[in-house]
Structures are given as C-alpha cells and as structure tokens.
C-alpha cells in the first residue's frame, strides 16, 4: 500500500497577499492560528514534529452541505472557510496503518496507533477548539499537506491551517479516539439520498461531536460515505470506557451496509 502525497499548490505570493490583506476581520483568527505554529523537535534529517492551535471557526454542516462526492469538492468547501480567496489544489493520499486498544495496570484505557508511510514526513499536532464542539488533539502528516517545513514560508503556514481537515487520527476531551485504516476493497461510494461525508470529514465529525463510541457510531451511520483518493477505508474508534469498535461500510455487501463491530 504505497502512499501518494497530497500536493497543496498554494502560490506563495497568492497566499501572502490573501493573508496580508486580511489585517482585520476576514483572516484575524487564521492569522492567530498560523502564528501559533511551532516546531517541537530538531531532528538532523529535517523531518520534525510541529504543533498548531486552531483558533478560526468553521461550519461542518456547511462543508457537508456543499457536497463531497469527489475529493476536489471537499477541498473547495474546506478552503472556502479556512482560506477564502486562496487557490488550493489537493491530491489525496494513500497510506497503511495499524491500531489497537489496551487497558493498563491501573485500569486506564489506552489506544495505540501506528502509521506506515513510504515517504519521510514531518508531523503536525493539531490542537482544535471548535465552537460548540469538543476540544481535541490529533495528527496530520505534513508531507500530505505539501510542506514538511511549514515555518519556512507563508505558504507552509497556510498549508498547516488545513490540519483539522487532514487529520489521520485524534482524541477529544471526552476520551473518544478515532483512527483511519486502509482496506484493499473497492472504494465505498454510497448513494442513499442521505447527506454525504468523506473519510476526512468522518474523523472531524467524530472528534467534534461524539462523547462516546456509541455517539460516534450513531453519527456516522446517519451519512452516506464517499471514500477518498480511490481507496477504501475503515475506522477504529474507542472511548474512555474502552468501548472499541471497527466501523466500516461492509466491503462484502454490494450495498455497503454500515457495520460497527466490537473488538478487544
């Protein structure tokens, strides 16, 4: 399973003009978010851990309502809120990974998560505080966002602002965690006239709005699923009580029925 980079083609001049022109209302919170970007490590190979605190507001329901049956529609809807007026092109990723749940000697629930990438990448720790939603932390691969050294340019900082919508996993303040994993089956593309979400939106939806695994299951089951980047996926979801489930759209079912299988 070979990864394919997300390339965000933001011209430096275009991004700089967009951010600089918004000295006040339009980009105030985006500028605050970009200013919070920090490098947390200093590895010799140049691939480091960065962190960003997201201060800007977004409307998940408006993104969903824009239609996400193809990857570009999703990116356009996200950019319209994160970086209005800035042209962005994204090629979605492919990747492989593993995850597990365990209970330690003190009875605390732990979720483990590993990512396997073909390409070296810096990582972005995204701290998110959505209005009306749960605070969360999670990781995005900066190679997927097109810039492994985001502090080196305005375009890199702008790419990092996309972090909340390119997360590959995360955990929220209620203890709900979610991680995406690839499947070798045909990509899911449900069409039952329900609202449509894609792989990345599923992660954002669960972290922002689910306080338990059951709430996450109920949320996801209410949508049609469109798998991104020409691959199929399922999710590993766990909560503070240790209710761990594999959530998928059954690849053996022609109708791709929604399934949530308890696992230990």
pLDDT band for 12, please (50, 70, 90 cuts).
very low
Identify which of 109, 249, 88, 225 has the alpha carbon closest to the alpha carbon of residue 174.
109
> What average pLDDT does this structure show over 185-193?
93
pLDDT band for 5, please (50, 70, 90 cuts).
very low
- 264 compared with 260, residue with greater pLDDT: 260
**So what's the pLDDT on residue 97?**
74
**Distance separating alpha carbons of residues 111 and 99, to the nearest angstrom:** 7
- Name residue, tokens 């998110």: 128
Q: Which of 66-70, 94-98, 116-120 has the lowest mean pLDDT?
A: 94-98
**Distance separating alpha carbons of residues 148 and 46, to the nearest angstrom:** 8
Q: Which of 81-95, 134-148, 194-208, 228-242 has the lowest mean pLDDT?
A: 81-95
CA 103, distance to chain mean position in Å, is 26
Q: What is the pLDDT of residues 34-48, one digit of tens each?
A: 999 999 999 999 999
Within a 10 A sphere around the Cβ of 59, how many other Cβ atoms? 13
**So what's the pLDDT on residue 258?**
96
**So what's the pLDDT on residue 20?**
46
pLDDT band for 259, please (50, 70, 90 cuts).
very high
> What average pLDDT does this structure show over 187-206?
94
**So what's the pLDDT on residue 73?**
79
Identify which of 86, 78, 76 has the alpha carbon closest to the alpha carbon of residue 164.
78
> What average pLDDT does this structure show over 143-169?
92
- 204 compared with 78, residue with greater pLDDT: 204
CA 181, distance to chain mean position in Å, is 12
Query: Whole-model pTM?
Result: 0.85
Contact partners, residue 115, CB within 8 Å, separation at least 6: 95, 96, 97, 141, 168
Task: Enumerate domains of the chain plus CATH numbers.
Answer: 12-262 (3.60.60)
The CA distances from residue 118 to 1, 6, 48, 94, 121, in Å, are: 9, 13, 16, 10, 9
Q: What is the pLDDT of residues 73-109, one digit of tens each?
A: 788 888 888 888 766 555 555 455 788 888 889 999 9
Helix (H, G, I), strand (E, B), or coil: what is residue 74?
helix
pLDDT band for 22, please (50, 70, 90 cuts).
very low
């Amino acid at each position: 399973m070979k990864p394919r980079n997300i390339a965000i083609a933001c011209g430096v001049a275009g991004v700089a003009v967009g951010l600089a022109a918004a000295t006040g209302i339009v980009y105030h919170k985006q500028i605050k978010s970009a200013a919070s970007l920090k490098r947390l490590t200093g590895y010799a190979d140049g691939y480091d851990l960065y962190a960003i605190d997201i201060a800007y507001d977004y409307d998940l329901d408006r993104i969903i309502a824009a239609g996400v049956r193809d990857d570009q529609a999703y990116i356009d809807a996200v950019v319209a809120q994160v970086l209005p007026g800035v042209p962005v092109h994204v090629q979605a990723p492919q990747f492989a990974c593993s995850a597990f749940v365990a209970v330690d000697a003190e009875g605390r629930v732990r979720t483990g998560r590993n990512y396997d990438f073909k390409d070296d990448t810096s990582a972005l720790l995204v701290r998110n505080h959505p209005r009306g939603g749960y605070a969360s932390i999670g990781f995005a691969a900066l190679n997927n966002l097109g810039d492994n050294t985001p502090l080196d340019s305005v375009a890199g900082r702008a790419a990092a602002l996309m972090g909340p919508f390119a997360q590959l996993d995360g955990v929220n303040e209620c203890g709900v965690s979610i991680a995406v994993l690839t499947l070798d089956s045909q990509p899911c593309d449900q069409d039952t006239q329900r609202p449509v979400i894609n792989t990345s939106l599923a992660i954002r939806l669960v972290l922002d709005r689910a306080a338990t695994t059951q709430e996450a299951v109920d949320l996801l089951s209410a949508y049609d699923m469109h798998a991104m980047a020409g691959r199929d996926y399922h999710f590993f979801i766990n909560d503070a009580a240790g209710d761990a489930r594999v959530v998928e759209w059954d690849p053996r079912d022609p109708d791709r029925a929604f399934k949530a299988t308890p696992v230990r």
